[in-house]
């Protein structure tokens, strides 16, 4: 039995634009996915996920061509299983054990598809635990790369390295194309608002791609996000919360222009701003899910509690450690 965990993440700046080679700055937060792996002798893959959804599910897989045997919605299973299945394929490839099987148990306090990096955290923790179960310990760069390949395949080529590198390495990171590194960052007063929903990352990324191809000004908007990120990096290095907040507001406006916000996200962003937050923006693919605000006081959390459409609000500490090897 081997266990690993990986944190969730929020984007301070740069989601979507990072897919087209602009820089992005996500940072890991102390909400984790924990994955336990036990090798099986029969080559099958069995996944039990307690908290990925409200009800949890168990699914038993044979090799790829056997159908899963489950009693929950197929799209739900397909979404969650796609990532786990892809992660185990990477494990089989990197360890040179094509027929190895596992029992995989997932516990997560990161809501699925809500912009907090749940899929990246599950994939990173699963690859790390399953490779170690076979006696192979991957370096950070290799682990992040294998996790990226998993997301890239599951999301049909529409993924950057940002989520997977961030949750592997921990802390605040900068990702631009293949260049990934950690940044010095103070512990930021991050407040999250969650609308209880989720966005379809693939569809949202495809929507931005289509806009960018159709309109020069949409392509300029993507580039403008890159400019905001570069300014944001200096503000982060200086620990200048006021400037960070202003730039987060700007970034949200540009994402809205690209069509990836939602009424619930805009309502939460405005509630945070009205409460006096330094700034607020959606985080991740958008369409629904979470916003992130900067506020050292309790005002934003209180305001979000009373915002229709906000189902949950919480403070998130920066997770300095990325993947954790539990045993």
Kindly name the residue from 85, 128, 145, 163 that is annotated as catalytic: 163
Query: Distance between CA 34 and CA 326 in Å, rounded?
Result: 9
Q: Which of 285, 291, 303, 316 binds ligand MEV (CB under 6 A)?
A: 285
Number of neighbouring beta carbons within 10 Å of residue 1? 11
Question: Cβ closer to ligand MEV: 106 or 159?
Answer: 159
Does 254 participate in binding ligand MEV (rule CB under 6 A)? Answer: no
Residue 320 backbone phi and psi in degrees, to 5: -70, -30
Report the C-alpha gap between 221 and 250 in whole angstroms: 11
Binding test (CB under 6 A) with ligand MEV, winner from 6, 10, 19, 211: 19
Residue 145 contacts ligand MEV per CB under 6 A: no
Q: Is 163 noted as a catalytic residue in this protein?
A: yes
Position with the least CB separation from ligand MEV? 160
Which residue's CB is nearer to ligand MEV, number 204 or number 280? 204
Closer by beta carbon to ligand MEV, 88 or else 205: 205
- Interactions with ligand MEV, residue window 190-219 (CB under 6 A): 201, 205
Contact 281, 291 (CB under 8 A): yes
Give yes or no for residue 159 binding ligand MEV (CB under 6 A): yes
16 binds ligand MEV per the rule CB under 6 A:
yes
Shortest CB 132 distance to ligand MEV, Å: 26
Shortest distance in whole angstroms from residue 238 CB to ligand MEV:
25
Residues with a catalytic annotation lie at 163
Interface with ligand MEV by CB under 6 A: which residues?
15-16, 18-19, 159-160, 162-163, 201, 205, 284-285
């Amino acid at each position: 039995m081997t266990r690993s965990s990986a944190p969730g993440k929020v984007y301070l700046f740069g989601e979507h634009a990072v897919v087209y080679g602009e820089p992005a700055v996500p940072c890991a937060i102390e909400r984790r996915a924990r994955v336990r792996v036990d090798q099986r002798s029969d080559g099958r893959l069995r996944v039990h996920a307690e908290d990925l959804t409200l009800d949890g599910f168990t699914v038993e897989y044979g090799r790829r061509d056997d159908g899963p045997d489950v009693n929950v919605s197929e799209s739900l299973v397909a979404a969650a299983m796609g990532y786990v299945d892809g992660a185990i394929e990477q494990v089989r490839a990197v360890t040179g054990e094509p027929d190895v099987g596992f029992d995989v148990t997932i516990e997560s306090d990161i809501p699925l598809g809500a912009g907090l990096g749940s899929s990246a955290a599950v994939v990173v923790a699963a690859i790390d635990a399953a490779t170690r179960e076979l006696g192979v310990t991957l370096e950070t760069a290799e682990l992040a790369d294998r996790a990226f390949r998993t997301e890239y395949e599951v999301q049909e080529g529409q993924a950057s390295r940002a989520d997977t590198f961030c949750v592997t390495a921990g802390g605040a990171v900068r990702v631009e194309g293949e260049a990934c590194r950690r940044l010095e960052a103070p512990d930021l007063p991050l407040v999250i608002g969650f609308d209880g929903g989720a966005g379809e990352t693939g569809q949202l990324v495809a929507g931005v791609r289509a806009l960018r191809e159709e309109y020069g000004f949409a392509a300029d908007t993507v580039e403008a996000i890159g400019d905001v990120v570069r300014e944001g990096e200096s503000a982060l290095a200086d620990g200048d919360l006021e400037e960070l907040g202003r730039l987060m507001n700007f970034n949200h406006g540009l994402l809205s222009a690209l069509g990836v916000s939602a009424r619930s996200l805009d309502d939460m962003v405005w509630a945070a701003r009205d409460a006096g937050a330094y700034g607020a923006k959606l985080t991740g693919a958008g369409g629904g899910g979470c916003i992130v605000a900067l506020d050292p006081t309790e005002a934003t959390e209180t305001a979000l509690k009373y915002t229709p459409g906000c189902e949950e609000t919480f403070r998130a500490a920066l997770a300095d450690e990325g993947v954790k090897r539990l045993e």
